[in-house]
Chains A and B, each alone.
Chain A
Amino acid sequence: MFKSTKTNRRTGENRSDSGQGINSSHQSLASRIQSWRSHHRLVATQSIQRLISTPISSVLTMLVLAIAITLPAALNIAITNVAQLTGQANDHVQMSLYLQNGISDTEGRKLATQIAGWDSATSTRYVSPQEAKDSFKTMEGFTEIIDSLPQNPLPGVVVVILSERSLSINQAEKLRKKAVALQDVSIAKIDLAWLQKLHAIIGLAQQVAAVLTALLAVGVVLVVGNTIKLSIDSRREEIIVTKLIGATNAFVRRPFLYMGLWFGIGGALIALVLINICKFALTNAIESLSLVYGGDIALAGLGFTNSITLVLMGAILGWLGAWLAASQHIRALEPR
């Protein structure tokens, strides 16, 4: 049986080295690294095959993950869209400077030209008292009132289009004070009230979305962790035998980490599909809304970068869930 001349039927190799008991497991570092990499490849494909072998439960798990990923992602997209709309509305933030009585049109125009030179102003326009009176006259019901007045009560106004698209309260106040400080200006107004309310609401929504995102991320980790725990339980015997043969915890953990990774990526990919289905379903509704407002409201989707980020996040969360479950349960599984 130990005749060294016997050749292996399959490989045709001479087995003269067979049976050397001691010092036979020396291996170079390069060879170890290569075998480590090949084991990763093997485990990665085997864990995919394992998921495919139980398609229904795998898809169900991924669907749960997908829903948990879709909810905060969709909420964030919605907020981004609203913020974008208000950004468009902010395009022309105006400041109105009501001039002192008795300022002539020439002086008014001069002031307008002067303010147009400010960094914070894009352009300015002088509205004379006469123009203001004319525009009031075009309004229903005002004609008679205006005509009945002995003299034009309206002051000249310099309308300033601000260069900043959005203003903080502090910025707005500073600008307002700067304008009031001008000799000819009696009142300066920037109508920020509705913008501030909207910004506060968007800010709140963003915080709610952040909390929801964190909660559902924990949910993803727990769902993957639980699935991996069940998988570990079902492969108890294999784990114990492998440990008995000299496997490290890292070796035993590896297939489960890959499984978690695939769950996370799969969940995120399904979430991407769900998000795009939602976007498609909403497109018609948005178009009719856009028509009503006469604007060009386009629904922003996830975009390429965000899609990649989403899948990456899914991968990280899946891996994390698997790591938590595997490091806890595999350490406890020792051969007895």
Chain B
Amino acid sequence: MIRFDGVTKRYDSGQEALSDVSFELDAGEMAFLTGHSGAGKSTLLKLIMLMERASSGEVWIDNQNLAKLAKRHVPLLRRKMGVVHQNHQLLFDRSVYDNVALPLIVAGYHPRDIGRRVRGALDKVKLLHKEKMNPQMLSGGEQQRIGIARAVVNKPPFLLADEPTGNLDPALSAEIMQLFKEFNQVGVTVLVATHDLALIARMHHRSLILRDGSLIGNGAPKQAPTTDTNMDDN
């Protein structure tokens, strides 16, 4: 569950990135976060990841008020969410396998489980055969999929994505979105920030629309229609 309660974020520069934003995303729900660039999408995601803290209002994750979360508990919160970044934030000094294994090592998984889970996640994004390569040698779409594998490898209850299809062509974008949809279908709460309106329109999911830091749209189909068949282009 993700809940924003009258959240305002003002940066030190005086710029108000979010103004009085309120919404609630149920556990297991999938939604898009959209708006022009600079509307506050990234700021909203940063508040959830606790890369920033709200100036006023409350952000709740899983019945936990983030304003009251002690600094030492921040790592534990972050382990609950897989995050897919636009620039994928992969480390080029190690192999694909080691990149994907990082969240498991950080969370203290048993070494025995790590190999199994990493290969499972890589298999899911169809890059198992490239586990030994350096991510630098992969294409943009492949790097993004490695980023997704890393985000989901420890099976977090939340999956956040910031412009995950920003640099990809439409076919690859659709493929990535299909992956998110599949994670959502097994119970992961998914929030995807994107300005790819065409893609959103095809996905029939709820959309949160931001304009200049204010939430101006919060709705559309709460349940994905069952007639959604043309997405499956795998």
Give the distance to chain B from A234, nearest Cβ to Cβ, in Å: 10
Instruction: Count A-B contacts at CB 8 Å.
Output: 111
Contact across chains for A248 and B182 when beta carbons are under 8 A apart: no
Encode B104-125 as 1/0 by CB contact (under 8 A) with A.
0111111100011001100110
List, in ascending order, chain A residues with CB within 8 A of B186's CB: 2, 19-21
Q: A31 in the interface, Cβ–Cβ < 8 Å?
A: yes
Q: A134 in the interface, Cβ–Cβ < 8 Å?
A: no
Look across to chain B and name the residue whose beta carbon is closest to the beta carbon of A42.
Answer: B105
A-B contact list, 6 entries, CB within 8 Å: A21-B28, A24-B154, A241-B102, A245-B103, A247-B106, A335-B49
Main secondary structure of the interface of A (DSSP, over half): loop
The interface stretch among B71-79, B197-205, B212-220, B222-230 is B71-79
Residues of B within 8 A of A (CB): 27-28, 49, 51, 72, 75-79, 83, 89, 91, 93, 102-103, 105-111, 115-116, 119-120, 123-124, 128, 150, 154-157, 182-183, 185-189, 234
Give the distance to chain B from A327, nearest Cβ to Cβ, in Å: 14
Contact across chains for A25 and B78 when beta carbons are under 8 A apart: no
Contact across chains for A27 and B108 when beta carbons are under 8 A apart: yes
Look across to chain B and name the residue whose beta carbon is closest to the beta carbon of A251.
Answer: B106
Q: A104 in the interface, Cβ–Cβ < 8 Å?
A: no
Starting from the known contacts A9-B123, A244-B51, 20 additional A-B residue pairs (CB-CB under 8 Å) come to A1-B182, A8-B119, A11-B119, A19-B155, A19-B183, A19-B186, A21-B155, A22-B27, A22-B188, A24-B155, A25-B156, A238-B93, A241-B102, A244-B78, A245-B102, A245-B150, A246-B78, A246-B79, A246-B103, A247-B106
Contact across chains for B110 and A244 when beta carbons are under 8 A apart: no
List, in ascending order, chain A residues with CB within 8 A of B188's CB: 19, 21-22
Contact residues of A between 228 and 265, Cβ < 8 Å to B = 237-238, 241-248, 251
Q: A142 in the interface, Cβ–Cβ < 8 Å?
A: no
Question: Which among B76, B120, B182 is the interface contact of A246 at CB below 8 angstroms?
Answer: B76
List, in ascending order, chain A residues with CB within 8 A of B116's CB: 8, 11, 13
Look across to chain B and name the residue whose beta carbon is closest to the beta carbon of A6.
Answer: B123
Given A1-B234, A244-B89, the answer on whether A20 and B155 have CB atoms closer than 8 Å is yes
Contact residues of A between 104 and 124, Cβ < 8 Å to B = none
Rounded to whole angstroms, the CA-CA distance of A89 and B89 in the bound complex is 72
The interface stretch among A33-41, A143-151, A209-217 is A33-41
Q: Which of B108, B154, B156, B186 has the most CB of A within 10 A?
A: B108
List, in ascending order, chain A residues with CB within 8 A of B77's CB: 246
Give the distance to chain A from B118, nearest Cβ to Cβ, in Å: 10
Query: Can you list the 6 inter-chain pairs with the closest CB atoms, starting with the nearest?
Result: A246-B79, A19-B186, A246-B78, A21-B188, A21-B187, A24-B155
Q: A178 in the interface, Cβ–Cβ < 8 Å?
A: no
Give the distance to chain B from A334, nearest Cβ to Cβ, in Å: 7
